[in-house]
């Protein structure tokens, strides 16, 4: 197996080497691509969505494997609202009749595509029932700025059905924004420009989405809260009190249906009205018009609003020294259909880590800290398995959770690592010691190379001068969300990608056969993920002092503050310019009289906000962080040790600092999200908004709110710095 060559050895993990290094070599020696392959074939053999027989079978298989490997494993079962389709009708009634196919045909080249009876029909989960008829309007990605452009064209979606294309935001944003603007129904199709023949040859000739492929997916309002929609804040355990359907705020306001580009084509072909702006145009062979009409569509949807079981597999290895400090590692196991890539490509690698850790334990090794491997169910409909588990065990997690490391789909390519920047240096070190399976360099070096190649001259300079690669902040889209954003547990999301060819996402074509042609057929990157995740778990589990770096985090927060100040200044200048151009009549002077055009409205001027509390808090943070890092380095260099319970106390303070970044009141309008640094964007979905309460108030031009939130976030950061100083005090006590 791929061993780490001596020349990649890093000096920065001196405290764990050489013992850690030889342990990792031993760990690596247990990793087997053949085992990954067999596991993927087994798990992806049938559709295994929430509530399906094979979902349960997979959970039991995973459980049995962890037990075989010596883990203390169990299934934790929850039950959650999970609607499945009863009626799906989409027809165009004018100017020509067309009834949408709404079906993905089996292919002889894809051996699991013919399990039609077991497959979930194509739909968007948590769309409400509905029976609506109306003129159609094409609204591009259906994000707020698209509606601004519609307004310029003098077009209103009130009472209309919108057709949007996938992309530009998380899918759930599309029906939300459409409903806010008065639309009565929402179609979402995969345009071949973004996801089809424009990108590459389509399945089965190539990897990409063919004309019948449909992207299933949840449209529950995840940025308000994820998990079971009927049990916000509380674990969906037996006997839980549930919200009645009509009180669930995260269901869509209008019916929503995803469709293929085969079904979208006749609809788009039948639109007239203005030609769509260039950046709205996709790759279908039509002139993209906006409408409204004359295409009139009838959309009828009805769902079985059932409670379905959720099977989380939780497998533990007890820590020998600090059993109440948990290193948690997770990847979901449920899929929309067969899910070979999403999520099983990641799941089989994560399980391989479990297998190898089991072997280490059998060989006599004991982790200092408790290791928890989790295979989540119900991620696809809305991070249900992870969220319900986190809500159920919230108190215990607040006490014990050191870090959560997530992965999901995995492919050939470049390592990605995002998450809490306190772990930036740590995960960089991990990546420095994993060999890229395709090149004779570390995955870290390869990731650095691709960033260098794709960056601007200024960014290249930063990359070359930095010791580490920057890791991005986490928004949402996978199971790290409840850990990070509901509890405040330092989290990472890791994986590989960038070289494989996609196109099966959330369709019946995300299959073993597809993955073996276009994914990671040798499972070399599956093994690389197991090395990356496994080494990270080993290092966290055995570290004397947890490798949190507060200076990295302080630098990043200072950057976020800079961004927000720039955002405000740019908005100020844009507003001044817009209002000036309105006074100058520029818009009406330029407008083509042959087209309908409405000039934008004047905007309220952007006041100067008081960022001083945040400036001061960031200043305190930088100083506290620097003192901590200095004290830590001095201790390590001195060779002295912390005595008694001081190491445990120090580490508890260190890993609980992330809790101090939360605000129990939560974000405005979405109290489930309590992290003051990272949140999924209210109008972007998966994409992160950093310093969200301040940033989103500014973006939404709520100036007073922004000024107030500056104080809230500043207080949060001051409290966080206080926790760091406590840790520093313990570090310094060793020197006395």
β-pair partners for 92: 98, 297
Nearest CB to a second copy, comparing residues 318 and 585: 585
Task: Return the residue of 18, 238, 285, 364 that touches a second copy, per CB under 8 A.
Answer: 285
Q: How far is the CB of 290 from a second copy (least distance, A)?
A: 12
Positive/negative CA dihedral, 54, 358, 416, 444: negative
What Å distances lie between residue 166 and 172, 173, 505, 670, CA to CA? Answer: 10, 10, 12, 25
Q: How far is the CB of 587 from a second copy (least distance, A)?
A: 7
Q: How far is the CB of 509 from a second copy (least distance, A)?
A: 16
Q: How far is the CB of 272 from a second copy (least distance, A)?
A: 9
Nearest CB to a second copy, comparing residues 281 and 393: 281
Q: Total residues at the site for a second copy (CB under 8 A)?
A: 43
Q: How far is the CB of 484 from a second copy (least distance, A)?
A: 30
Burial of 307 (0-12, 13-18, 19+ CB in 10 A): middle
Q: How far is the CB of 275 from a second copy (least distance, A)?
A: 5
- By CB under 8 A, which span of 143-151, 446-454, 536-544, 554-562 interacts with a second copy? 446-454
Nearest CB to a second copy, comparing residues 360 and 431: 431
Q: What does residue 264 show for φ and ψ, rounded to 5 degrees?
A: -75, -30
Helices assigned H by DSSP within 482-549: 512-518, 524-542
The answer to whether 445 contacts a second copy (rule: CB under 8 A) is: yes
Nearest CB to a second copy, comparing residues 396 and 573: 573
- By CB under 8 A, which span of 284-292, 295-303, 324-332, 374-382 interacts with a second copy? 284-292
End-to-end CA distance of the chain: 47
Task: Write down the number of H helices and E strands in the chain.
Answer: 23, 16
DSSP state, 247?
G
Task: Return the residue of 89, 243, 245, 275 that touches a second copy, per CB under 8 A.
Answer: 275
Task: Return the residue of 281, 298, 572, 649 that touches a second copy, per CB under 8 A.
Answer: 281
Asked if residues 44 and 51 have their Cβ atoms less than 8 Å apart, the reply is no
Nearest CB to a second copy, comparing residues 106 and 277: 277
The answer to whether 450 contacts a second copy (rule: CB under 8 A) is: yes
Task: Return the residue of 60, 306, 396, 577 that touches a second copy, per CB under 8 A.
Answer: 577
What Å distances lie between residue 95 and 89, 269, 290, 294, 619, CA to CA? Answer: 18, 10, 15, 6, 64
Q: How far is the CB of 500 from a second copy (least distance, A)?
A: 9
Question: What does the block give as tokens for 720?
Answer: 């966080």
Pairwise CA distance, residues 517 & 215, whole Å: 20
Asked if residues 446 and 530 have their Cβ atoms less than 8 Å apart, the reply is no
29: three-class secondary structure by DSSP: helix
Nearest CB to a second copy, comparing residues 242 and 281: 281
Task: Return the residue of 17, 94, 441, 734 that touches a second copy, per CB under 8 A.
Answer: 441
Nearest CB to a second copy, comparing residues 406 and 442: 442
The answer to whether 283 contacts a second copy (rule: CB under 8 A) is: yes
Task: Return the residue of 77, 118, 438, 636 that touches a second copy, per CB under 8 A.
Answer: 438
Question: What does the block give as tokens for 448?
Answer: 């650095």
Nearest CB to a second copy, comparing residues 238 and 285: 285
Nearest CB to a second copy, comparing residues 521 and 722: 521
Q: How far is the CB of 472 from a second copy (least distance, A)?
A: 19
Q: What does residue 88 show for φ and ψ, rounded to 5 degrees?
A: -140, 105
Q: How far is the CB of 271 from a second copy (least distance, A)?
A: 11
Nearest CB to a second copy, comparing residues 14 and 96: 96
The answer to whether 439 contacts a second copy (rule: CB under 8 A) is: yes
Nearest CB to a second copy, comparing residues 286 and 711: 286
Question: What does the block give as tokens for 122?
Answer: 């194509």
Q: How far is the CB of 201 from a second copy (least distance, A)?
A: 5
Pairwise CA distance, residues 476 & 491, whole Å: 12
Pairwise CA distance, residues 48 & 56, whole Å: 8
Q: How far is the CB of 416 from a second copy (least distance, A)?
A: 14
Q: How far is the CB of 437 from a second copy (least distance, A)?
A: 10
Asked if residues 218 and 126 have their Cβ atoms less than 8 Å apart, the reply is yes
The answer to whether 284 contacts a second copy (rule: CB under 8 A) is: yes
Task: Return the residue of 499, 563, 566, 665 that touches a second copy, per CB under 8 A.
Answer: 499
Nearest CB to a second copy, comparing residues 109 and 194: 194
Nearest CB to a second copy, comparing residues 518 and 678: 518
Please identify which residue in the block is written with the tokens 């200072």. 558
Pairwise CA distance, residues 652 & 399, whole Å: 8
Asked if residues 75 and 312 have their Cβ atoms less than 8 Å apart, the reply is yes
* Contacting a second copy within 578-607 (CB under 8 A): 581, 584-590, 592-594
What Å distances lie between residue 578 and 69, 74, 495, 597, 656, CA to CA? Answer: 64, 60, 43, 16, 46
Please identify which residue in the block is written with the tokens 């949807």. 301
The answer to whether 460 contacts a second copy (rule: CB under 8 A) is: yes
Pairwise CA distance, residues 44 & 436, whole Å: 26
- Kindly report the length of the chain: 736
Long-range contacts of 518-523 (CB under 8 A, 24+ apart): 518/206, 518/207, 519/340, 519/341, 519/345, 519/411, 519/412, 520/345, 520/410, 520/411, 520/412, 520/496, 522/33, 522/437, 523/33, 523/34, 523/36, 523/37, 523/40, 523/348
Question: What does the block give as tokens for 85?
Answer: 């389709």
The answer to whether 573 contacts a second copy (rule: CB under 8 A) is: yes
Peptide bond into 219 cis (omega under 30): no
Q: How far is the CB of 4 from a second copy (least distance, A)?
A: 18
Nearest CB to a second copy, comparing residues 593 and 644: 593
Question: What does the block give as tokens for 308?
Answer: 């379905």
Q: Which helix (H) or strand (E) holds 714?
A: helix 703-733
Question: What does the block give as tokens for 485?
Answer: 């954003």
- By CB under 8 A, which span of 164-172, 441-449, 527-535, 651-659 interacts with a second copy? 441-449
Task: Show the binding pattern over residues 532-571: x = contacts a second copy (CB under 8 A), - = does not.
Answer: ----------------------------------------
Q: How far is the CB of 453 from a second copy (least distance, A)?
A: 5
Q: How far is the CB of 198 from a second copy (least distance, A)?
A: 6
Task: Show the binding pattern over residues 188-227: x = contacts a second copy (CB under 8 A), - = does not.
Answer: ----x----xxxxxx---x-x-------------------
Q: How far is the CB of 504 from a second copy (least distance, A)?
A: 16
Asked if residues 6 and 25 have their Cβ atoms less than 8 Å apart, the reply is no
Binding site for a second copy (CB under 8 A): 192, 197-202, 206, 208, 275, 281, 283-287, 412-413, 438-439, 441, 445-446, 449-450, 452-453, 457, 460, 499, 573, 577, 581, 584-590, 592-594
């Amino acid at each position: 197996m791929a061993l780490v060559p001596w020349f990649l050895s890093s000096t920065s993990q001196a405290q764990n080497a050489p013992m850690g290094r030889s342990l990792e070599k031993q760990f690596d020696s247990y990793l087997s691509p053949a085992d990954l392959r067999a596991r993927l074939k087994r798990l992806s053999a049938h559709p295994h969505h929430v509530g399906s027989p094979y979902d349960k079978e997979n959970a039991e298989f995973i459980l049995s494997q962890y037990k075989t490997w010596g883990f203390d494993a169990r299934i934790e079962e929850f039950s959650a609202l999970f609607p499945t389709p009863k009626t799906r009708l989409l027809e165009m009634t004018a100017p020509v009749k067309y009834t949408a196919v709404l079906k993905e045909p089996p292919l002889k080249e894809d051996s699991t595509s013919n399990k039609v009876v077991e497959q979930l029909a194509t739909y968007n989960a948590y769309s409400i029932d509905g029976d609506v008829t109306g003129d159609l309007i094409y609204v591009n990605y259906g994000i707020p700025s698209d509606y601004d452009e519609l307004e310029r064209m003098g077009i209103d979606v009130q009472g209309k059905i919108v057709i949007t294309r996938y992309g530009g935001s998380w899918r759930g944003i599309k029906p939300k924004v459409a409903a806010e603007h008065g639309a009565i129904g929402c179609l979402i199709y995969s345009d071949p420009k973004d996801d089809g023949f424009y990108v590459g040859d389509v399945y089965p000739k190539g990897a990409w989405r063919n004309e019948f492929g449909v992207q299933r997916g949840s449209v529950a309002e995840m940025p308000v809260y994820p998990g079971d929609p009927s049990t916000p804040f509380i674990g969906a355990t037996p006997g839980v009190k549930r919200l009645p359907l009509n009180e669930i705020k995260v269901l869509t306001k209008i019916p929503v249906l995803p469709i293929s580009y085969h079904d979208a084509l006749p609809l788009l072909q039948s639109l007239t009205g203005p030609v769509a702006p260039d950046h709205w145009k996709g790759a279908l062979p039509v002139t993209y018009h906006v409408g409204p009409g004359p295409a009139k569509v009838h959309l009828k949807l009805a769902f079985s609003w059932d409670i379905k079981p959720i099977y989380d597999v939780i497998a533990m290895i007890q820590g020998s020294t600090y059993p109440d400090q948990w290193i948690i590692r997770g990847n979901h196991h449920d899929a929309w259909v067969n899910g070979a890539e999403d999520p099983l490509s990641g799941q089989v690698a994560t399980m391989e880590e479990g297998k190898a850790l089991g072997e280490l334990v059998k060989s006599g090794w004991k982790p200092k800290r408790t290791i928890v491997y989790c295979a989540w169910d119900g991620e696809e409909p809305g991070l249900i398995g992870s969220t319900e588990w986190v809500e159920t065990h919230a108190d215990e997690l607040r006490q014990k959770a050191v870090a959560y490391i997530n992965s999901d789909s995995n492919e050939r390519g470049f390592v990605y690592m995002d998450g809490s920047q306190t772990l930036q240096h740590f995960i960089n070190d991990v990546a420095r010691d994993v060999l890229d399976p395709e090149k004779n360099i570390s995955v870290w070096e390869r990731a650095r190379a691709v960033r260098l190649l794709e960056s601007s001259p200024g960014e290249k300079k930063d990359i070359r001068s930095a010791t580490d690669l920057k890791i991005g902040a986490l928004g949402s889209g996978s199971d790290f969300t409840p850990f990070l954003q509901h509890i405040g547990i330092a989290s990472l999301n890791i994986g590989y990608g960038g070289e494989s060819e996609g196109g099966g996402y959330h369709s019946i074509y995300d299959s073993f056969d597809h993955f073996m042609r276009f994914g990671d057929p040798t499972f070399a990157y599956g093994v690389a993920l197991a090395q990356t995740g496994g080494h990270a778990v080993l290092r966290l589990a055995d570290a004397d002092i947890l490798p949190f770096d507060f200076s990295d985090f302080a630098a990043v927060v200072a950057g976020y503050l800079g961004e927000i100040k720039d955002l405000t200044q740019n908005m100020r200048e844009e507003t001044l310019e817009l209002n000036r151009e309105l006074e100058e009549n520029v818009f009406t002077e330029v407008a083509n009289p042959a087209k309908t055009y409405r000039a934008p409205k004047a905007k309220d001027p952007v006041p100067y906000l008081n960022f001083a509390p945040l400036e001061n808090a960031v200043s305190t943070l930088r100083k506290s962080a620097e003192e901590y890092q200095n004290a830590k380095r001095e201790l390590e260099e001195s060779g002295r040790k912390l005595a008694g319970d001081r190491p445990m106390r120090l580490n508890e303070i260190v890993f609980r600092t992330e809790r101090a970044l939360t605000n129990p009141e939560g974000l405005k309008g979405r109290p489930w999200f309590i992290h003051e640094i990272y949140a999924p964007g209210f109008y972007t979905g998966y994409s992160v908004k950093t310093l969200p309460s301040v940033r989103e108030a500014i973006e939404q031009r709520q100036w007073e709110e922004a000024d107030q939130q500056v104080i809230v976030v500043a207080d949060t950061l001051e409290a966080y710095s206080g926790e760091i100083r406590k840790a520093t005090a313990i570090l310094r006590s060793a020197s006395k």
